[in-house]
Amino acid sequence: MQHSNIVGGSTAKRVINCPGSVALVQKMPPKPSSKYADEGTLLHDTIAEHLATLKPLETFIGKKHQDQVLTQELIDDKLVPALAALDEIDPKQEMMYEVETRVGFGDLLPGVFGSTDFVGRLGDKAVVLDWKFGDGVAVTAEENEQLMFYAAAAMRTTALQWAFEGATEIECVIVQPPMIRRWTTTPERIAQFEHQLVKAVKQAQSADAILKAGEHCRWCAAKPVCPQMTGAVDRALQVQLKEIDAAMLGQYLKNADVLEGWITDLRALAFQLLEKNIPVPGYKIVQKQARRQWTDETKAIAALHDMGLPRDELFSPEEIRSPAQIEKVLKKRKLALPDDLVKSVSSGTTLASEDDSRPAVLQLGDLRAAISKLQ
């Protein structure tokens, strides 16, 4: 699924509320994908292919996207409920529809486009539907900017205009298994939204485009460098706790998600830069704290049994206890844990300040440079 780097369905709310974010986001490096995003893409691709071909869902078991594989469990938990929701909208299966269609605004907004999950026509009503397969934030359909973007773009896309010709209603639907959320609006409301979008995109192209923080910042990739966000953090740090009363605290808590998201994205961006050997003054990548593990559980069990440890002290309930737990048991018996039974293993890397005692992890570029000096 390709989307415009100016504005698309998922970013329409942000761009309308904060036109200045367009330029900032375009300067950011692309975010790496995640297993959740890859799973979502796999499910979108599968349900689209199923609706286009009407092949049984089970024939797609084993289908892959990146490292994600379609299983019977995913079909039962996600795809079957999603199709049941579609049956609720079209119980007689009379609706004409198209899936996974690129839509755009043509000369009205050059370079602005997106991809619709599902557009259909049922009687006098056009249907614009979006699948949401994530288990996170519940998404509402009412006044949903993403759905209105798709509706407006589809109405200007030749391949989908048949779904809107003569329609008196436009139903916007979010299917987020097991929930279905529906909102019926009019072509006039979609035209109003389109006017808002055109105005925001034109403003985004100006040097003094407005930047505005708010709920729409949640998924913005530019949070770490946004002046509005950094200003919000500065103001939050300047407030002394003793000066905050209960009423004000309630207002501050509304900003918690925005600030926490900004901090998370800021750290992720710094980590990404350091991984690519781009210095971030004052910070480095280090190994996470090492955790002790058994070098060989079978040998450890035999050795500890020989030291006199009974089964109930060795296992919890069926697995061998951790080296730290066994060490406490042995101390009570005035025995030491043999060094050859354990090893220290790091669980990965993390961002740390420059004054952290752990050495910086040698990145691939640094390693190549070191090897070239030896040759």
Q: What percent of the chain has pLDDT over 90?
A: 54
Closest CA to 274 of 263, 265, 285, 288: 285
pLDDT digits (tens, 9 = 90+) for 184-204: 999 999 999 999 999 999 999
At residue 316, what is the residue type? S
Highest mean pLDDT among 129-138, 199-208, 239-248: 199-208
CA-to-CA dists, residue 190 to 50, 106, 143, angstroms: 29, 16, 10
Euclidean distance between CA atoms 148 and 151, whole angstroms: 5
Q: Which residues pair with 284 in a beta bridge?
A: 352
Residue with tokens 């910042």: 217
Going from N- to C-terminal start, the domains of the chain cover: 9-204, 217-268, 277-288+348-374, 291-345
CA-to-CA dists, residue 162 to 4, 57, 123, 195, angstroms: 24, 29, 12, 22
pLDDT digits (tens, 9 = 90+) for 247-258: 666 777 777 877
At residue 298, what is the residue type? T
Q: Which residues pair with 360 in a beta bridge?
A: 286
Lookup: tokens for 334: 């005035």
Residue with tokens 């269609």: 101
What DSSP character marks residue 363?
P
User: What pTM does this model have?
Assistant: 0.71
Euclidean distance between CA atoms 121 and 83, whole angstroms: 17
Q: Would you tell me which CATH number, out of the four given (1.10.150, 3.30.9, 3.30.1490, 3.90.320), belongs to the domain 9-204? A: 3.90.320
